[in-house]
Amino acid sequence: MWTMRRIDLQEYQQSEPVPLSGIERDTLREVVDSLSVDREDMDGPQPMYRLTAGSTVGAMDIGELSVLIRPKIGIPKLLWMACYATGAFRPQEIRTFDFEEERALPDTLALALTSAARRAFSRGLLHGYRRREEALQTVRGRIRFAEQLRRRYGVPVPIEVRYEEFTDDILANRLVKAAAVRLSSMRLRSSRAIRGIRWVAGVLGNVSEVEYPQAAVPELAFDRLNLHYRDVVELSRLILRHGAFEARRGVIRASGFLMDMNVVFQEFVIQALRDSLGVSSRVLRSEENVAFDQGRKVILRPDLSWWDDRTCTFVGDAKYKNLTGRRVPVGDLYQLLAYATALDLPGGLLVYAEDETDTGTFDVVNSGKRLEVAALDLSGALEDVLVSADEVAQKVNALYEDALRGSAVLNGYQVI
């Protein structure tokens, strides 16, 4: 029976006063940057704190404390958006993942991964050829004469050889196993999720266990031979690219799975705009390095920039912030103005989530720059969100055309 202390939060929501030990307090502050943990002045045997969630959502366990932070848009839509942002799926294909709203985020992912794995593995495990280099007692494949002479001069065996092995220990299966292992390291709440992940890991028992850094999860090309693996591989890549963690403070174990809504929103916006505008990642780029000063001591990295060869013709930023009832932050406008100035553009675009701030246009005095603010409505179904993205794309296209019309002699800007 589940007996852990549990705190349920929603993104940007505050909890009632709750008791926390010093280790729990410090671990929460360390692991979740956007979570505020504030001491309450209350009498009692144990310190009380209020937790205020930020843009990081997910689930974490610290010893016997369980903390759940749910996204405002709901877990299914969050994961559909994250899947779409990979660029691997069309909107209708994402519905094959049956993400469950009532589950915690790690359990939802575990159940979805199990379902996708069952579909993929129903035709048998995917096999492929891997090059192996080993020292064997008999010749297999080709002898590596240079290595044989270097390592074993005058010794007939073992023999240094290179050969191709037909095996299930290939990248596709390694990615799936790595995702299953990462999820199994967490304290899953659903017995069905636990059984499912154990089954996935068991089927892949002969596959090597590899740890992939979040920023360097390899991609896989799909063709008619491995297309049935696409769902499970891309879902595995999504799990590996986001914030699973495990840590210890003394005897206290902390683990969980967290997703930064800022990252999900930014990746979704740029993929939706690329699809709507019909351009590739070589044209509409994310976080391209741009020099702010002549000496290139200050480097800017705008979220969105449109490049015609070496010339930038549009710049923008995607912002996922809690701005309900507030004006556009001056700092965001300064940032966009810096991008437009450095790239010698007539203006730029800020994209916020709907209802977080008002849309509008800012004509900056004494500069000739026009800064626009657009909103992407996340409240409807995924198809409705993409319709809203099409409207934002029209603003991007208008700014792009303004840049071309307003500067027939626009100078090419060197990417560094």
- Residue 357 CA to residue 380 CA, distance in Å, equals 18
Whole-number Cα distances in Å, 158 to 131, 132, 135, 138, 144: 19, 15, 5, 7, 12
Q: Where are the alpha helices (DSSP H) in 95-249?
A: 105-121, 145-152, 171-184, 191-203, 230-241
What would the pLDDT profile of 356-398 be if each residue is shown by its tens digit?
Answer: 556 789 999 988 899 999 999 998 888 999 999 999 999 999 9
What would the pLDDT profile of 141-196 be if each residue is shown by its tens digit?
Answer: 677 767 767 777 666 778 776 766 778 999 999 999 999 999 998 888 899 999 99
Across residues 115-126, what is the average pLDDT? 94
- Output the pTM of the full model: 0.85
- Residue 378 CA to residue 72 CA, distance in Å, equals 10
